[in-house]
Amino acid sequence: MKRYVFVIGMLTVLALAGCKDNKEEIPIATNSSSQLDDEDPTDELEDELPGEDIPDYSVDLPEKLSSFTIAIWGEVYKIPISYEEFTALGWTYKGKETAQLGPESYVENEQFEQEGNVVYVDLMNLDTESQPVSQCYIAGIHVDASSAESQGIHINLPGGIVFQKSTEEEVIAAYGSPIDRYEEGKSILLTYEYGMNSRVKLSFDEETGVLMEISLQNFRNPEGEEDLENVSDAITPEVEAYKLPEAEGILLQDFIVQYDGVLYQLPAPVSCFLDHGWTLDEDGSDEAVKSGKYGYATLVRNEQKIYAVVYNYGTEATTIKNCFVTTLYGDLDTTKIQISIAGGITLGMREEEFLERVGDQKYEKTEDKDNGYDIYTFYIDDEQLDYTQVTVDKVLHLVRQIKVVHNQDAVEDSETKDGQDTLENPDTTNNPDTDSESTPNPDTTNN
């Protein structure tokens, strides 16, 4: 299993209660074509229906998959869970628990074993300093029953779904339509997303239709949720002071964006988007965010979603609608939301006209060889935290993607708050092809 290390931003911790060992032994199923003991040929049809040997565990789980709560051998896990409590449930790490994991980072596909059964997990370090694995958290669990090492692992999911027993039809009935359905080889893969850094992938055997592989990842930060339960949702002074721009900007550094027909100047309050027809997906959004901290919001309109990182500029914790969106994005392929920027630069514009409207504004030009794109990035300073990025198709010479990022003020404000964590560079893209660590990336991710 290849080992990847990435960096995460704005994550927090959730601790769980203790556990006990009540795992059940499952007998080895026997199949036989012999009729010596029973001459009734109809019995053959009743041999080994998928999942019939899985015990009926009595577990109390939420109905929503977005809760990221499961039960393994009847023991309940809510992801993320601390390393200490995960190992207390009987799992043994096959690596070195004294190994250091970098600050605000995670590593994928680490192996844990229990009585010959193996799961692969994602470990994350939420601290701003390196921590040993034993001080980290389990943020992802991956189990594949097509592998002999995982066939003895029995899992209950929310909504009455059972690993190695439930079918694709039963999963869709319980959780609704997935964001993606993909057929590859002899498997069918369903993907459910619940905001940035929170997703579930369920894979089914094409022949039997049975759920045979589970992948859960939840890098959300629930630390201090109890402190946010009674937060006021009254409009904050920062939101009251915000004014929608009356005209598009002259320079890209004005960060004025026309998005889905409405002008915004970034960063812009979530409430402004709600006032203009967007709705908040509660499953994919934080309820509230502490002062000087980042959070997550998922905005939905006309079947389009924005997975947004938001920032609380206020001096007190507040609800998500009073936080500010720091990035907007649109393209011609996936996030088909019309976006235009200073000078009337918009999606679908010819490259020649785009460059004419840019004039003498400085940019860095890079090449995306895999997709055949030229990328023009307009930074406002050497820190490269705030920028406008325009992507052009090299074959068609048309603008295909536009992204606007303005969060420098948020980072600077957080540095002035005593005891608050900061992000060194909130828009460096991670490279999953190396084991090196990179910086956090609180960009807007769209679907």
pLDDT, tens digit, for every residue of 158-192?
999 999 999 999 999 999 999 899 998 899 999 99
Query: Which pLDDT value is given to residue 334?
Result: 80
Closest CA to 376 of 385, 368, 386, 366: 366
Query: Which pLDDT value is given to residue 289?
Result: 87
Gap between the Cα atoms of 341 and 249, Å rounded: 7
Based on its alpha-carbon atoms, the radius of gyration of the chain, rounded to whole angstroms, reads 25
Instruction: Find out whether 427 and 441 touch, Cβ atoms under 8 Å.
Output: yes
Between 292 and 264, the more confident residue is: 264
Instruction: Find out whether 219 and 8 touch, Cβ atoms under 8 Å.
Output: yes
* Paired residues of 187 in beta bridges: 184, 205
Gap between the Cα atoms of 48 and 124, Å rounded: 40
pLDDT, tens digit, for every residue of 401-420?
999 999 856 544 433 333 33
Query: Which pLDDT value is given to residue 223?
Result: 60
Question: What average pLDDT does the segment 331-352 reach?
Answer: 91
Q: Is residue 100 scored above 50 in pLDDT?
A: yes
Largest CA distance in the chain: 89
Question: Which percentage of the chain shows pLDDT scores above 70?
Answer: 78
Instruction: Name the pLDDT band for 438 (thresholds 50, 70, 90).
Output: very low
Q: Is residue 10 scored above 80 in pLDDT?
A: no
pLDDT, tens digit, for every residue of 144-155?
999 999 999 999
pLDDT, tens digit, for every residue of 353-384?
999 999 999 999 999 998 999 999 999 988 88
Instruction: Find out whether 189 and 202 touch, Cβ atoms under 8 Å.
Output: yes
Gap between the Cα atoms of 40 and 215, Å rounded: 42
Gap between the Cα atoms of 315 and 40, Å rounded: 77
Instruction: Name the pLDDT band for 431 (thresholds 50, 70, 90).
Output: very low
Query: Which pLDDT value is given to residue 292?
Result: 85
Q: Is residue 130 scored above 70 in pLDDT?
A: yes
Instruction: Name the pLDDT band for 205 (thresholds 50, 70, 90).
Output: very high
Instruction: Name the pLDDT band for 50 (thresholds 50, 70, 90).
Output: low
Query: Which pLDDT value is given to residue 282?
Result: 85
Q: Is residue 38 scored above 90 in pLDDT?
A: no
- Six-digit token string for 399: 């603008």
Query: Which pLDDT value is given to residue 221?
Result: 66
Query: Which pLDDT value is given to residue 134?
Result: 95
Instruction: Name the pLDDT band for 113 (thresholds 50, 70, 90).
Output: very high
Q: Which residues of 147-175 are buried (b: 16+ CB within 10 A; e: fewer)?
A: eebbebbbbbbbbebbbbbbbbebbeebb
Instruction: Name the pLDDT band for 227 (thresholds 50, 70, 90).
Output: low
Please, which residues have CB within 8 angstroms of residue 215's CB and are 6 or more apart in sequence?
Answer: 140, 141, 142, 200, 201, 202, 203
Query: Which pLDDT value is given to residue 225?
Result: 59
Instruction: Find out whether 119 and 153 touch, Cβ atoms under 8 Å.
Output: yes
Instruction: Name the pLDDT band for 34 (thresholds 50, 70, 90).
Output: very low
Please, which residues have CB within 8 angstroms of residue 12's CB and are 6 or more apart in sequence?
Answer: 126, 220, 221, 222, 223, 224
Query: Which pLDDT value is given to residue 304?
Result: 86
Query: Which pLDDT value is given to residue 222?
Result: 60
In DSSP notation, 96-131 reads -TT-EE-TTEEEEEEEEEETTEEEEEEEEE-SSS-E
Q: What is the mean pLDDT of the chain?
A: 80
In DSSP notation, 192-261 reads EE-STTEEEEEEEETTT-BEEEEEEEE----TTHHHHTT---SPPHHHHH----SS--SSGGG-EEEETT
